Structure 1
Amino acid sequence: MKIKMTTGLSGPDYSLSPGDVRDFPAAEARRLIEAGYAVPDAAPRKEPAVEKPAAEKRG
């Protein structure tokens, strides 16, 4: 589960600052959210860019 940190947090495998987004196992993510260290990541998912073909001009 992706979460966005609201406070700094470091461990043996990571060092996170406020605003950092990281994927954690669901149970760990819920624990961090409930403790006030993070919020669920609500960043909009980006769709891949699709190029529209140019309009045909006749004249």
Structure 2
Amino acid sequence: MRNLKMLTGLSGPELTLSPGDEHEFEDAEADRLIEAGFATEAEAAKPAAPAKKPRAKA
């Protein structure tokens, strides 16, 4: 299974995707969509940077 980001809209009886939507596809379907120019590999989720805590005043 691979997570793709859609470049075009895609709809069918079980799903509807708009450009920019991310969805998980089987490997063969993912390859087909990428080769056809309908989608790209979605970027891996970046871990959130830890929030900076204000320093206590001395």
Bucket of the pairwise TM-score, normalised by the shorter protein: 0.7 to 0.9
Q: What is the TM-score normalised by the length of structure 1? A: 0.73
Residue-by-residue CA offset, 1:23-58 (whole Å, 9 max, x unaligned)? 0001001100000000001143436xxx8xxxxxxx
> How many residue pairs were aligned?
51
Q: What is the TM-score normalised by the length of structure 2? A: 0.74
- 5+ residue gaps, structure 2: 51-58
**RMSD value, Cα:** 2.1
- 5+ residue gaps, structure 1: 52-59
Runs of 4+ in 1 over 4 A off after TM superposition: none
Q: SS where residue 36 of structure 1 aligns?
A: coil
Question: Matches of 1:31 and 1:45 in 2, distance apart?
Answer: 26
Taking the TM superposition and a 5 Å limit, the aligned residue runs for 1:1-59 are 1-46=2-47
Q: Percent identity between the aligned chains?
A: 52
